[in-house]
Amino acid sequence: MLTVRNLSFVFFILLIGCKSHEYLPKPAEIGTSTHGAYIQSYLDDGTRFSGELIAIDSIHIIVLSEKDQQCKQYPTKELGRYSLRYAQSKNYAWTIPVFSLLTLMHGYIAVFTFPVNLITTIAVTVGAQDAFVYKKSDMPVDKLHLFARFPQGLPKGLALSEIK
């Protein structure tokens, strides 16, 4: 049974999951951002890494790690599954409590409209989180450079330690 406590817990969890990385552009700013896309990936050996995609070629993928803010290189040929977020998604989590509470005005039929409203708002919120995301099945490795900070490769003379 859904109680106010359980509903508030679900809402809190959805809000935590909706946070985007600050350097990602808003949808209207796509194409003008000076940063690369956010990538989460696994290598074939199970190593997980995530951060800003700096550059990629046939030998290495370079990522500015979100953990220690340092550039790290990984072998491109060992790149397993990945998820690439190139813009901030819309946050519709606020609709869950607002529209759920509005169903109280429906009177007795709220018994039917509340679950429908709750399911719909949760589905919209979760669906919006996957906007602006490419998975490996959607974006092949040879196209990832299009979403890197340096799509044509690292500029000559630029050391990885200089990138912040």
pLDDT of residue 33: 63
Residues 143 and 85 in one domain: yes
Residues 80 and 99 in one domain: no
Residues 70 and 139 in one domain: yes
Residues 82 and 149 in one domain: yes
Is the predicted pLDDT of residue 47 greater than 80, yes or no?
Answer: yes
pLDDT of residue 77: 92
Residues 148 and 115 in one domain: no
| CA–CA distance, 150 with 79 (Å, rounded to integer) | 19
* 125 contacts: CB under 8 Å, gap ≥ 6: 14, 18, 91, 92, 93, 95, 96
The total number of structural domains that make up the chain: 2
Neighbours of 131 (CB within 10 A): 12
Whether 27 is in a domain gets the answer no
102 half-sphere exposure, CB direction, 13 A CA radius: 10
What's 89's DSSP letter? P
Q: First-to-last CA distance in the chain?
A: 48
Residues 137 and 109 in one domain: no
pLDDT of residue 74: 92
Residues 52 and 125 in one domain: no
Task: List pLDDT tens digits, range 106-158.
Answer: 888 888 888 888 888 888 888 777 778 888 888 888 888 888 888 888 888 88
Q: Which residues form the domain of 56?
A: 35-89+132-164
The answer to whether 52 and 36 have CB atoms below 8 angstroms apart is yes
